[in-house]
Each structure stands twice: as structure tokens, then as C-alpha cells.
Chains A and B, each alone.
Chain A
Amino acid sequence: MPARPGQRRLKIEAWALVGPAVLIYALFVLVPIAGAVIMSFADLRLSGGGWTFTFGNYAEALGAPLFWRALGHNFLLLAASLLVQIPAALGLALFVAHLGRLRSLFRAGYFLPMMITSAAIGWVWALIFDPVSGPVNSLLESCGVGAESLPEWLGSQWLALPTVIFVISWRYIGFHMVILLAGLMSIPQELYEAARVDGAGAWECFRYVTLPQMSRPLKISAMLAVVGSMRYFDLVYIMTKGGPAGATELLATYMFSVGLEEGGRYSYGAALAVLLCVVSFAVVGGARLLLPREEEAEVVR
């Protein structure tokens, strides 16, 4: 059946409005992704190479110890996000929710790190943790820690990653807090009143009213943390460039340094990018499987 003229005009208008966005999306997202996949099977590098078809980049990546080490660091960052950032954000959200008039002030304060560019955050925290002239070590020294046993922070093989993860958490806790706070504020007060009538204390209120009501915002936060941890790049690049000696290397920093900035191996970098995508999809898919079925139904509703 031919569409009525009015309907067809609506369709054209819809495409005219959506078209530019779709075009830009295709041009800047879909085409580059396809390009990266194609490139990853070639051997393009700054020093020449060519379009010969090969699986060599994938074989090399999967055989590179640094790839697996970087992947491990990504999972550590993921674990820290889920086990430290989100619980801390929930704690802060509960604290801020119980503030009266000061609520918006505190909310803005905790959210502030998200408004500052990562470059500034990275530089300032690197100065704060400077082992020689940084205030952290000055403080430790004035507390009586000997000069020879002061921690080396970003220069240390085992402390560099925790230090960077601390700064990343400092930045993102406020972000998760805002999401969770919005969830907290939307819990109807009647539920608490009913619970109290039934004789529930503070802990029971939290355990049997707040937590179940918060499952959706918590899951949104968790999902964002999962995706963010797998593709994380900026603060690590600014603070350590993946060093010292690979101690803070993430998949994204490894890809950037080998593929572009220092190594100039475009195809190998593209293969790493594809692997990073595959790993991220797998992790996100795994995380989604952990969502109970009835909750999915609730989200749909």
C-alpha cells in the first residue's frame, strides 16, 4: 500500500533532521572502526610496510607479555572501581542525602574533580606525589619516616599502579555519587515510614529499603565503571605513560605507545585496538549476564 503523502513527508522530514547526525556518526565512528579492522590485518608502519594480509599482528599481541600484563592492570582497575569507587560513592551519597540545605554545595564539591581536565589533575597529583619535593612525602618525613624509606610513589614498581588508581578513583567517585544520589532522592519516604512502623532500625532500613530500591542506579554506575575501566587512558598516560617499566601499562596506553606515539606501528596498534574492543564487549556482556532476569523486566517496564 502506498504511503499517504502526509506520512511520506513526515518520513522525509525525519530523515532530514536525523540525517546529519547519522552522517557524522558514520563518518567519524563507523568508517574509522572499519578502517581499524582492515588495517589490523595488514602490516602498515611509519617505516613502510604494506597491505599484505596477515594474522601476524594478532599472534604477536597475544604472545606479548606486556599485552597480558596491561590486561591484568585493566582488570585491577576494574576491581578497584567496583570495590572501592562505588561503595565510597554510595557512602558519600548517603552522607550528602542527609544534609539539609548544604546538600547542593557538597554535591557540587564532590563532583568538582569531574569538571577539571585530566591533564591538570594528572600534573597536580604527580607534583603532590613527587618523591623528593611533594607534600605527601614532606608530611611523612615530618611524621618521622626516614628519608631512605619514604615511598617512591609513581617511581616505584609496586606503588605506581595503586597511586594512579587512587587518583582515578578520586576523580570518579564524585561522578558515581551524583548518579547514586539521584537514585536515593527518588526513594519514596513512605517506604521508610512503613519500615519504621514495622520496627526497623537504621541498618534494616538501609538493607531492606535503600539497597533494593537502589539496584538500578547501582547497576548503571557499575556498568559505566566496567566500560570506563576497560578503555581507560588519560590519567595514566599523563602521570606515568604506562611506566616505570610497564608497571602501570593499560591496554589503551600500550596501544597508543606502540601503535602511534613511539613505535609508529599502525597495523599492530589497530590490532590492539580491535582486541581492546573484543575484551571490552566480552566483559560488558559478562557483566550483563550477572543481572538477574526479573531486574531486566523491571528496566523494560
Chain B
Amino acid sequence: MRIVRAMAALAALVLVVSIAACGRKGGAKPTVRLWHIQVSGPTKEVVERAVARVQERHPEVAIEAVGFKNDPFKTKLRLAMESGDPPDVFHTWGGGGLQELVGAQKVLALDDAGDLSAYNARALDFCLACPPSSDALVTCALPADITAVVFWYNRELFETQGLQPPATYAELRTVCRKLKDAGMTPVSLGNAQKWPGCFYFIYLATRLGAFRPFVEGKYDAPSFIAAGDRIRELVDAKVFNRGFNGIKYDASRREFFGGSAAMTLMGSWILSHARAEAPEFLPKMDCFAFPAVEVGKGRPKTVVGGMNAGYAVSASTKQKAVAVDLVKELTGKQAAEEWAKTGRIPARTDVDLAGVDRATKSLMKIMAEADAIQLYYDQALPSELARVHKETVQALFAGTMTGAEAAAEMAAAAEKAE
């Protein structure tokens, strides 16, 4: 009986000790943790190869790379930052999200990371942030690749219907009408996650009112109201597949790849998905810039885009040299050439682009002609406002708000956040 009790007490003790110990790994090499969002396919391999090259240079540490899906990553990183146990190197989209972390002193400044002239200057802009201690913008991340949102279309469907890529908004409406008359879904949209619909809002607002209303934070400017009302117009004209507000991006791109929808307004990352999920569809795929809006003040060559992947170092890292080296390798020339082959647009200017496909080339052309990039609003805005932006745009698509109501709610939220 005594033995049984002693064993029970011992078991209880072991439980406590093992719970206390599970936070750290004793005795092993120091680890450098990388959190990224390349969870599958060739893009994951690009990260893995870059990590392997750095691991070879630094055998004294163990590099531990973990990939998360997009949405879980945001939650995970937020929790890790808040709990004071962040990864050494982490993925970032730059802009407002990066600024928030830099403002909270969670990010190491990379201003002494060496010569940055091989990087695309506009991509580097996304990596600038202002630390609380200074008034100057500092490079706080390095860009691996950039993204741009354009209309992707099915060339085969356009040819059989005798259609040309539209250059103006009115032409876009005509193309949609003709496709609809032919029994097809003109545009596929999966807006359950809320960000895919935002592209329409950002493009329409930028074409109608240029940059100033957004930069000045006048979210109830006429261009925002009009952009909202045009979204409702598109919904009323039934250019989208049914039930778009309940469908995720995964399902909406399947519809486009499968040929039941003729177009989709999506970021350049759809190229990687086409490559992985529908390689036979890739040659049929091409893209055109978001059409000019006739009455707008904005220039028709402005592209909505952002940094697809940049990498930043935690302020709390204990392996600064390895972490910075890892960031430079992930955004280096070799990785950039590999990124381009997976359908990404590398953020460097010293990249050899032999043997890329038609859709990527068309996109490169649009990017070369672009006069400016408007960052995605949800990445440019502080997260509280970004949430309201996404909610109100989904409400516009759902028809539960008018353009004026959505704009008023955005303006009220901005006032509260001041």
C-alpha cells in the first residue's frame, strides 16, 4: 500500500516537472526559428533550399523553419509577439502591419544590413517603418517578392466568344454581359474571407479618386462612396458566381481554373496556385490591368499591389548574425531566380527571367508600365481600421450597406482610432 502511494506521489511530481520543462529543450544547439507562409509546393522548396544554404554556413545553430497558412500565421505571430516568445525571423507583408510591430519595438532595424541597391526600390519602400525612438524611416525588413492584383482571364473562353480584354470599365461591363448571355459566369469571386472583395473597392476608389483621399484618411470622400456604389452595381448585374460571400478563395479559383468562370480579379499568387493545382490550365491563362474608369481622377496605370513576402528579424533574437544572414539569403539573387520560376515576381532587379510563362510575362509588362503601386488597404491601415474596411466591403457585396453607409462607418471608426 505504501509503495502504491509513493508511486502515485512520484507520478504527480514527474507530471509537474515535465510540464515545467516542456518549454525548453535542454543541452541542444541554440535554435533560430523562422516562421513563413510557404506551406506547399515549389515555393516551400525555395524557402527550404535557402534555409539549407544558411544552415551550411552556420553549423553552430539549428535552424527550425515552420510554415503556416496565411490566416493562422497572423494569429500565431500576434500571439507569439504578445507572449514575448517570437520567432527569430518571420514573414511580413510590410506596411502598416510591420509599422505596428516596429512601433511596439518588436523588430530589429536592418539599416546596417549592407548594400541594398539590388532590391527594387518600390519593394523596399514597403519595408520602411518608423521606430518610436526616431522620426526617420528605417529599413526593418527585406523584400523577397512583390504582388500585383490584375484581372486574370481564360484566353480560350475569350477567343470562342470573340472577346477582347477590356480597357475601360464600360467595356468590362459589356464583356460581362456577353459572357452572361452565353451562359457563363463572367467573374469568379470567393469573398468569405473578405479580402478578395476588397480588391474591387481599392481599385475603384483609386481609379475614381486617386491616392489623396486614402492618404489623408478621408474615408467618406465621394470617391469611396462611389466605389461602394459601383460594387453594388456589379453585384446587381450578377457578374459574379452565386453565393460568393460564402465561398472561399480556394473554391473560387477552382471555378476559374475549371473553365466555368471567365475572369477573376486576384493577386499574382494565383499563378503559383495554377501551377500547383491546374498546370494544364496555365497556358490558357493571361491577364489584363484593371480597366480605366471613365469619370475618375486616378491614373489607369496605377496597380494595386504589395509585398508578397518580406522577412524581418525579431528585436529579441539571440542569434542576430544568423538571423540577418537568413533574411538576406531568403531575399537573395539565387532565391529570387527560383521565386520567378514558381510564378512569383521577385523584388530584385538583378534577376535573369529566361523561360517564364505567358501570364507571368504579361504581368511583368503591366508592372513595368505601372506608374505607382497602391498598397492593399488592409495592409496599409492599422489593424482596427483594416477590420472595419473588410467588414464594410463585405457588407457592400452582401447588399446590406450603401456606399454612403459604408463610407460613414469607416470614417467613424477612423475618428475613434485617433
Residue positions of A touching B, CB distance < 8 A: 13, 16-17, 19-20, 23-24, 45-48, 126-127, 129-133, 147, 150, 152-157, 160, 240-241, 243-247, 257-258, 260-266
Complex-state Cα separation, A265 to B243, whole angstroms: 31
Pick from B9, B383, B399: contact of A47, CB under 8 Å: B383
Q: Give 1 or 0 for each of B57-86: 1 = CB within 8 Å of chain A CB.
A: 000000000000001001100110010000
Complex-state Cα separation, A126 to B248, whole angstroms: 9
Q: Quick check: A156 and B395 within 8 Å, CB to CB?
A: no
Pick from B100, B260, B387, B398: contact of A132, CB under 8 Å: B260
The answer to whether B317 has its CB under 8 Å from any CB of chain A is no
Nearest Cβ in chain B — how far from A148, in angstroms? 8
Pick from A13, A245, A262: contact of B398, CB under 8 Å: A245
Nearest Cβ in chain B — how far from A61, in angstroms? 13
Complex-state Cα separation, A244 to B192, whole angstroms: 7
Nearest Cβ in chain B — how far from A9, in angstroms? 10
Nearest Cβ in chain B — how far from A199, in angstroms? 55
Contact A264 to B192, CB < 8 A, known contacts A13-B9, A131-B243, A245-B245: no
The answer to whether B25 has its CB under 8 Å from any CB of chain A is no
CB neighbours (8 Å) of A19 from chain B are: 12
Contact A261 to B74, CB < 8 A, known contacts A16-B9, A154-B246: yes
What would 20 A/B residue contacts be, using CB atoms closer than 8 Å? A16-B9, A19-B12, A20-B12, A20-B13, A46-B78, A131-B241, A132-B260, A133-B254, A147-B242, A150-B242, A153-B246, A245-B245, A246-B395, A257-B387, A258-B387, A260-B78, A262-B383, A262-B386, A262-B387, A263-B387
Q: Quick check: B243 and A130 within 8 Å, CB to CB?
A: yes
Nearest Cβ in chain A — how far from B228, in angstroms? 13
CB neighbours (8 Å) of A45 from chain B are: 384
CB neighbours (8 Å) of B387 from chain A are: 257-258, 262-263
The answer to whether B171 has its CB under 8 Å from any CB of chain A is no
Q: Quick check: B244 and A47 within 8 Å, CB to CB?
A: no
CB neighbours (8 Å) of A157 from chain B are: 398-400
CB neighbours (8 Å) of B13 from chain A are: 20
Q: Quick check: A20 and B9 within 8 Å, CB to CB?
A: no
Nearest Cβ in chain A — how far from B105, in angstroms? 11
CB neighbours (8 Å) of B400 from chain A are: 157, 245
The answer to whether B356 has its CB under 8 Å from any CB of chain A is no
Q: Give 1 or 0 for each of B10-41: 1 = CB within 8 Å of chain A CB.
A: 00110110010000000000000000000000
Q: Quick check: B254 and A154 within 8 Å, CB to CB?
A: no
Pick from A20, A46, A133, A150: contact of B383, CB under 8 Å: A46
CB neighbours (8 Å) of A153 from chain B are: 243, 246
Nearest Cβ in chain A — how far from B158, in angstroms? 21
Complex-state Cα separation, A31 to B204, whole angstroms: 49
Q: Quick check: A132 and B255 within 8 Å, CB to CB?
A: yes
Residue positions of B touching A, CB distance < 8 A: 5, 8-9, 12-13, 15-16, 19, 71, 74-75, 78-79, 82, 100, 103-104, 185, 191-194, 241-248, 251, 254-255, 260, 382-384, 386-387, 390-391, 394-395, 397-401
Complex-state Cα separation, A24 to B387, whole angstroms: 35
Nearest Cβ in chain B — how far from A213, in angstroms? 40
Nearest Cβ in chain A — how far from B199, in angstroms? 17
Q: Quick check: A16 and B12 within 8 Å, CB to CB?
A: yes
Q: Which of B246, B260, B383 has the most CB of A within 10 A?
A: B246
Q: A132-B185, A153-B246 are in contact. List 10 more A-B contacts (CB 8 A).
A: A20-B16, A132-B260, A157-B398, A157-B400, A243-B394, A244-B191, A258-B387, A260-B78, A264-B383, A266-B82
CB neighbours (8 Å) of B384 from chain A are: 45, 47, 263-265
Closest to A129 in B: B246
Nearest Cβ in chain A — how far from B384, in angstroms? 5
Pick from A131, A147, A150, A257: contact of B246, CB under 8 Å: A131
CB neighbours (8 Å) of B241 from chain A are: 131-132
Q: Quick check: B246 and A155 within 8 Å, CB to CB?
A: yes
Complex-state Cα separation, A7 to B379, whole angstroms: 65
Complex-state Cα separation, A39 to B338, whole angstroms: 46
Q: Please list the 6 inter-chain residue pairs (A to B) with the smallest Cβ-Cβ separation, ordered nearest first.
A: A131-B243, A154-B246, A155-B246, A155-B243, A244-B245, A152-B243
Contact A244 to B394, CB < 8 A, known contacts A17-B8, A47-B100: yes
Contact A132 to B382, CB < 8 A, known contacts A17-B8, A243-B192, A245-B400: no
Pick from B193, B194, B243, B390: contact of A154, CB under 8 Å: B243
Q: Quick check: B246 and A160 within 8 Å, CB to CB?
A: yes
CB neighbours (8 Å) of A244 from chain B are: 191-192, 245-246, 394, 397-398
CB neighbours (8 Å) of B71 from chain A are: 261
Nearest Cβ in chain A — how far from B184, in angstroms? 12
Nearest Cβ in chain B — how far from A65, in angstroms? 10
Complex-state Cα separation, A188 to B395, whole angstroms: 57
CB neighbours (8 Å) of A147 from chain B are: 242
Complex-state Cα separation, A123 to B69, whole angstroms: 15
CB neighbours (8 Å) of B75 from chain A are: 260-261
CB neighbours (8 Å) of B82 from chain A are: 46, 266
Nearest Cβ in chain B — how far from A238, in angstroms? 10
Complex-state Cα separation, A20 to B15, whole angstroms: 8
Complex-state Cα separation, A243 to B387, whole angstroms: 13
CB neighbours (8 Å) of B397 from chain A are: 244-245
Closest to B74 in A: A261
Nearest Cβ in chain A — how far from B242, in angstroms? 5
Complex-state Cα separation, A132 to B248, whole angstroms: 12
Closest to A157 in B: B398
CB neighbours (8 Å) of B74 from chain A are: 261-262
Q: Quick check: A132 and B251 within 8 Å, CB to CB?
A: yes
Closest to B106 in A: A46
Closest to A130 in B: B251
Closest to A21 in B: B12
CB neighbours (8 Å) of B242 from chain A are: 131-132, 147, 150, 152, 155
Q: Quick check: B246 and A152 within 8 Å, CB to CB?
A: yes
Complex-state Cα separation, A244 to B396, whole angstroms: 10
Pick from B100, B245, B398: contact of A46, CB under 8 Å: B100
